[in-house]
Amino acid sequence: MGLTGVTLLVTLMVVAAVTLPANACLPADQAALMDIKAALKEPYLGIFNTWTGSNCCQGWYGVSCDPTTQRVADIVLRGESEDPIYEKAGRSGYMTGSLSPSLCKLDKLTTLIVADWKDISGEIPACVTSLPDLRILELIGNKITGQIPENIGQLSKLTVLNLADNKICGSIPASIVNLGKLKHLELSNNQLTGEIPSDIGKLRMMSRALLNKNKLTGSIPNSITQLRRLADLDLSMNQITGSLPAQLGSMPVLSTLNLDSNQISSSIPTNLLSNSGLNILNLSRNSLEGELPDVFCSKTYFTHLDLSYNNLRGSVPKSLSSAKYIGHLDLSHNHLCGPIPNGSPFDHLEASSFSNNDCLCGSPLRTC
């Protein structure tokens, strides 16, 4: 290369260094962040005071960029955190305002967490479903209203969807079953209505589904038993009717099942009580009927078993005394009758565990 060529190359390198400083974010990304900042007000911690200067990839609280492309990749703003900024302020976070649709201009975003700020309102921008790389969407603990975006199923890379503790209404979008990589679904404590999508069993990767404290109706879809990785299912405090799916107890890794405070009216499937992997089972405050299956064994390990406030009849299963461990047991407010078996776990339970039945007797109740 001649002298002229070398000079030209050096000149181009200098221009590039001036035009695109190392670790600088794209001007369009920075403009989108400024719109997000303008739509939110955080009066106590001064978080947005750090969102200043020309390089949003460095020193902007909660913002991080892809080191290769310098595009904004993550926004993580938590109102409850162990970050020193909270300890110094001596308080948790508080924020008002709404989510700016400009966040959808951050088209390389993989994580969007704006959680536990208590007073952020407005709706989830519908355009959020156009973010092709989004993996985590977490907006828990605000006052967000409106509905879950209808096309939420377009987020093909989404693994976490947490919209709990808001004021979201409407039904669960049918397209949600297209989130093939979804692992955690948390929609609890909102105002959701309608039925659980009948083909929710398509979410084969899901390990946690918390839909409690809503106004969901209809029955529990049978397809939910196809979720072979599901460990935690909470549908409590809804208006669910119908029967318990027969294969619910055959789910291989299910360890926590909360269905309390609904209107379920079937008998209890035998395999639900004989499932040795199930540790927490709460079916209280329904209209369950029939007898308690006598299927407990040496592998039974319940830290919490609550069947209270139902219409169960018959006797207390003798096989409960062969269980490896029964921590909390509540059979109160049913129509059970006959003697309470002797030995563990009955010798450490309070009388309240058996109260308000038809004719139970024995320790810790009256003598038979």
pLDDT digits (tens, 9 = 90+) for 30-67: 999 999 999 999 999 999 999 999 899 999 999 999 99
Give the whole-angstrom CA distance, residue 320 versus residue 315. 11
What are 302's strand-pairing partners? 326
Residue type (1 letter), 91: R
Confidence category of residue 367, pLDDT binned at 50, 70, 90: confident
Token digits of residue 363: 């320790």
* pLDDT at 11 exceeding the cut of 60: no
**Amino acid 16: pLDDT:** 39
Q: How far is CA 280 from the centre of its chain?
A: 17
Cα 69 to chain centroid, rounded? 32
Q: Give me the residue label for tokens 């700020």.
A: 117
Residue 266's alpha-carbon distances to 16, 223, 281, 288, 306, in angstroms, are: 71, 18, 16, 5, 16
**Contacts of residue 133, Cβ cutoff 8 Å, sequence gap at least 6:** 107, 108, 109, 110, 157
Cα–Cα distances in angstroms (integers) from residue 180 to residues 131, 153, 352, in the given order: 16, 9, 45
Q: What is the distance, to the nearest Å, from the Cα of residue 196 to the centroid of all Cα atoms in its chain? A: 15
Q: Which residues contact 132 (CB under 8 A, 6 or more apart)?
A: 107, 156, 157
Residue 174 and residue 152: Cα distance in Å, rounded? 9
CA 169 from chain center: how many Å? 16
Residue among 260, 303, 261, 266 nearest 282 (CA): 260
pLDDT in tens, 285-300: 999 999 999 999 999 9
Please state, in angstroms and rounded to a whole number, the distance separating the CA atoms of residues 67 and 196.
41
| Summary mean pLDDT of the chain | 92
DSSP readout, 192-233?
EESBPPTTGGG-TT--EEE--SS--BSPPPGGGGG-TT--EE
Statement: residue 257 has pLDDT above 60: yes
Q: Which two tokens stand for residue 198?
A: 């009948």
Q: Whole-angstrom Cα distance, residue 106 to residue 125?
A: 13
Residue 245: what pLDDT?
A: 96
CA distances from 1 to 4, 8, 15, 47 (A): 8, 11, 20, 51
Tens of pLDDT along 133-153? 999 999 999 999 999 999 999
pLDDT for the residue numbered 22: 55
DSSP secondary structure code for residue 118 in this structure: B
For residues 220-247, give the mean pLDDT: 97
pLDDT at 345: 86
Neighbours of 288 (CB within 10 A): 23
- pLDDT-derived band at 6 (thresholds 50, 70, 90) equals very low
The two three-digit tokens of residue 348, written as one number: 């450490």
Residue 75 has pLDDT above 50, yes or no: yes
| Per-residue confidence (pLDDT) for residue 9, from 0 to 100 | 41
| Cα gap 33→39, rounded to integer Å | 10
Q: What integer is the mean pLDDT of 336-358?
A: 90
Mean pLDDT value across residues 87-93? 84
Closest by Cα among 341, 364, 342 to 352: 364
Confidence band for 271, pLDDT divided at 50, 70 and 90: very high
Least confident of 5-14, 200-209, 246-255: 5-14
Q: How far apart are CA 360 and CA 358, in angstroms?
A: 6
